[in-house]
Amino acid sequence: MAGSGAPQDRLNRVVRVIAQNMVAEVCSIYLARAGGVLELFATEGLKEEAVHLTRMTVGEGLVGLVAERGLPLNLSEAPQHPRFSYRPETGEDIYHSFLGVPILRTGRVVGVLVVQNVTPRRYKPEEVEALQTISMVIAELVASGELVDKQELTEDSGSTGEPITLDGLTLAAGVGAGIAVFHQPQVQITRTVAEDIEEERKRLEDAIAEMRLQLEEMVEHPDLAHGGEHREVLETYRMFAYDRGWQEKMRDAVSSGLTAEAAVDRVQQENRMRMYKIRDPYLRERISDFDDLAIRLIRIIQGDKSKYRADLTEDAVLVARSIGPAELMDYDRQYLKAIVLEEGSTTSHVTIIARAMGIPMLGRVTGLLTHVEAGEPVVVDSASEHVYVRPAEDVLESYKATLKLQEQLLAEYAAERDLPAETRDGEKVTLLMNAGLLVDLPSLDNTGAEGIGLFRTEFQFMVAPALPKVDEQTKVYSAAIEAAGDRPVVFRTLDIGGDKQVPFLPRDEEENPAMGWRAIRIALDRPALLRYQLRALLYASAGRTLNVMFPMIAEVAELRRCKVILNKEIARLAKYDKVPPKEVKVGCMLEVPSLAWQLDLLVQEVDFLSIGTNDLMQFFFACDRSSPRLANRYDLLAPPVLSFLQSIFKACDKAGVPVTLCGEMGGKPIEAMALVALGLRRLSISPTSIGPVKRMIRSVDLGSLRDFVFSNLQSAEHSIRDSLVHYARDHNIKL
Ligand code: PEP
Ligand code: MG
């Protein structure tokens, strides 16, 4: 109905047609501008001169009230309303009745559509309905960005929100800021106005029936038969799917002339606006349940072709109830500055991926979805575990400064990329990086890492919907080897189970999954899985060196079993005329303490060793690595830890077996400083840690540091961290 022509002409036509059809003396359109201002854009009935002149803030006058509430306002005696404010330039004092409806787009008020009559009357529900339908069409016009700059639309236009701070749980460290982008399957509605109402009715009814069917199937799924939380959630969903009020509203919206998908969307927008006002947290949470259902319904109507994610075009903070790892990886990492979730846990897949991608992430942020709107500025700070929504100017300035500092530092690290990681007294340390996804590979060149010391092959399995086939695995491994060129890549065979679940492997409930059926234990029980993976690794390394290591080895006998399988696969290559690797180097992760008591034997079995302190230390202290409550309980700079690690370094040195440390510990400058002092010369760390650790190494005089650390090994203190920090300060070591 908006028709063709310049957008302003179309608006003018729209107000004329509405005024005629509703027999109203006045019809006006106000659109939201930057800074929470509403501007009169078109009118039939008010004075022409007022167009683009009359402006009010959200909350001011009746129009402002509609924008503030996001709900229709239907008054027979408008001038008597306490919020009525008279604008002489419009000449509107003679009109008694007033009907205003918000123009909503993706949950935001982008304008207000108003009709007025001289005679006092209350508008009929059908008239309210009709005006709401038209407002959707106007919303589409506004979204084109021709009337109001798109930039303005995403600014603080319709929001009434004050700055707020929400608490969360740090899942991936860092600071990030950007505009809020909702991760929800973004449904795009391209057709709003129905050409054939009967046809649209049928599309809606068919889709509702299909949605119910899908939910029935989900609830009846055999995996859920024994009940539990999942089932309850689905039961609630099912209840909503049969909600009569919801369906009636959608049917009414179709009757008023909308397409089926536009009707679902409009009703959902209203639902959302209503529910935002509700204080009860349970009811507010239901918004997202309805959102999910509405999105599902629209997807069914559109034949599942709608887009799942927003294209990021500027710095963004992704906001979601939860998100899958594959979905996360769909976003453009360049613009993705942080992630905030209502759910999420330290062990969820997406957490591991976010950490691997170096994106700060906070989870368990209660009320997130109801407090943030798309397009609003958000700052995420993992150190304070705060999410600042619509941050006040001072907060924003302070974080801008922190970010700037962070960027400056990054630029400095980049400039130091090609400098050697060598102490002031000439001791060389090899800095490698940890990786697991193809997106990590460019970091090799960006950071100047000397290779990949730990390639976590399970990441590919975690983000895949089905077990990756040998050729799919080969592709990923080849890409890593290719990207590394002459630099080594150490592949670790599948470390699944525990905190890294894969979708296609049945999962037993375990009391202690970290100590349960995981990693090499699964591989040895399901040798086909390991065999295929080794095959893919061998294929990818044709004519080159393959470095492969096995995770969670608890005893030498276990490693020997792995080697038998590997050797069979190597032998198989000849049988099938495949080019073998130039050489195969076999290593082992040391992350189970028992293995440290077989070091003499172990060093004879391996070409290299890698210490996984993330796991090793949780077993060393009997302290769950993913328990937030225990996160700071024990310190890795405790004397027993350092003595233990030192004994491993010594044994490897004696045997001439290269030893690398690939846990998170090595990526922290102060920890790395202690490790280097104890004799470690190889670290495999996250790409973002290479710069800071190298800088620390280049500022150290190892001779005197070594004496200092050794003299502290017998200390009975909880940790030698403070002494080390003081030492670093006194000796100009850059931490
Ligand atoms: C470790 O345990 O230290 C390690 C590097 O492995 P992951 O963190 O993948 O368990
Ligand atoms: Mg581990």
Q: Which atom of ligand 1 is nearest to the CA of 591?
A: 2
Q: Is residue 389 predicted with pLDDT exceeding 70?
A: yes
**Dist CA 586 CA 561 (whole Å):** 13
Q: Is residue 474 predicted with pLDDT exceeding 90?
A: yes
Q: Which atom of ligand 1 is nearest to the CA of 662?
A: 5
Ligand 2 centre distance from Cα of residue 278 (Å): 45
Ligand closest to 499 (CA) is 1
Selected residue with higher pLDDT from 328 and 723: 723
**Dist CA 516 CA 552 (whole Å):** 11
Q: Is residue 476 predicted with pLDDT exceeding 70?
A: yes
433: left (phi over 0), alpha (psi -120 to 50) or beta: beta
Q: Is residue 323 predicted with pLDDT exceeding 80?
A: no
**Dist CA 537 CA 552 (whole Å):** 19
Q: Whose CA is nearest to atom 9 of ligand 1?
A: 456
Q: Which atom of ligand 1 is nearest to the CA of 458?
A: 9
Question: Across residues 353-359, what is the average pLDDT?
Answer: 77
Ligand 1 centre distance from Cα of residue 606 (Å): 19
**Dist CA 277 CA 102 (whole Å):** 15
Q: Which of 151-160, 348-357, 517-526 is predicted least confidently? A: 151-160
Ligand 1 mutation pick, 347, 457, 615, 682, max ligand atoms within 8 A of CB:
615
**Dist CA 357 CA 372 (whole Å):** 24
Cα dihedral 164, 165, 168, 174 in deg (nearest 10): 120
Instruction: Give 239's pLDDT tier (boundaries 50, 70, 90).
Output: confident
DSSP letter string over 675-733? HHHTT--EEEE-HHHHHHHHHHHHT--HHHHHHHHHHHTT--SS-SHHHHHHHHHHTT-
Q: Which atom of ligand 1 is nearest to the CA of 664?
A: 3
**Dist CA 128 CA 115 (whole Å):** 10
Measured CA angle at 577 (ends 576, 580), to 5 deg = 105
pLDDT one-digit tens code per residue, 151-198: 665 544 334 467 889 999 888 888 899 999 988 655 677 788 888 999
Tokens 């028709």, residue? 3
What is the DSSP secondary structure assignment for residue 26, as one 8-state letter? E
| pLDDT in the model for residue 107 | 60
Ligand 1 centre distance from Cα of residue 727 (Å): 29
Of 223, 253, 389, the C-alpha closest to 317 is 389
Q: Whose CA is nearest to atom 3 of ligand 1?
A: 612
Ligand 1 mutation pick, 455, 456, 522, 621, max ligand atoms within 8 A of CB:
456
Q: Are 686 and 454 in contact (CB under 8 A)?
A: no
| Residues in the chain, overall count | 735
Instruction: Give 283's pLDDT tier (boundaries 50, 70, 90).
Output: low
**Phi and psi, residue 631, nearest 5°:** -50, -40
Question: Across residues 408-415, what is the average pLDDT?
Answer: 88
What is the DSSP secondary structure assignment for residue 542, as one 8-state letter? B
pLDDT one-digit tens code per residue, 552-582: 999 999 999 999 999 999 999 999 999 999 9
Q: Whose CA is nearest to atom 6 of ligand 1?
A: 612
Selected residue with higher pLDDT from 120 and 283: 120
Helix, strand, coil abundance in the chain, percent, nearest 5? 45, 15, 35
Q: Is residue 455 predicted with pLDDT exceeding 50?
A: yes
Output Rg (C-alpha) for the chain, integer angstroms.
31
For residue 152, the surrounding DSSP H or E stretch is: helix 150-154
Ligand 2 centre distance from Cα of residue 361 (Å): 21
| pLDDT in the model for residue 349 | 60
| pLDDT in the model for residue 160 | 46
pLDDT one-digit tens code per residue, 660-691: 999 989 999 999 999 999 999 999 998 888 99
Q: Which atom of ligand 1 is nearest to the CA of 434?
A: 5
Ligand 1 first shell, C-beta below 6 A: 454, 456, 495, 591, 612-615, 662-663
Ligand 1 mutation pick, 432, 459, 589, 592, max ligand atoms within 8 A of CB:
589
Q: Is residue 315 predicted with pLDDT exceeding 80?
A: yes
Ligand 1 centre distance from Cα of residue 278 (Å): 45
pLDDT one-digit tens code per residue, 67-115: 888 888 999 999 889 888 888 878 777 889 999 999 987 667 889 999 9
| pLDDT in the model for residue 563 | 98
| pLDDT in the model for residue 225 | 44
Q: Which residues are within 8 A (CB) of 19 and not within 5 positions of it... i.e. 6 or more apart?
A: 25, 26, 27, 44, 45, 115
Tokens 């592949």, residue? 491
Tokens 């009860």, residue? 280
Exposed e or buried b per residue across 475-511, where buried means at least 16 C-beta atoms within 10 angstroms of its C-beta:
bbbbebbebbeeebbbbbbbbbbbbbbbeeeeeeeee
Ligand 2 centre distance from Cα of residue 526 (Å): 19
Q: Whose CA is nearest to atom 8 of ligand 1?
A: 614
Q: Is residue 325 predicted with pLDDT exceeding 70?
A: no
Percentage of the chain with pLDDT > 70?
Answer: 86
**Dist CA 551 CA 523 (whole Å):** 10
Q: Which of 76-80, 347-351, 402-406 is predicted least confidently? A: 347-351
Q: Which atom of ligand 1 is nearest to the CA of 612?
A: 3
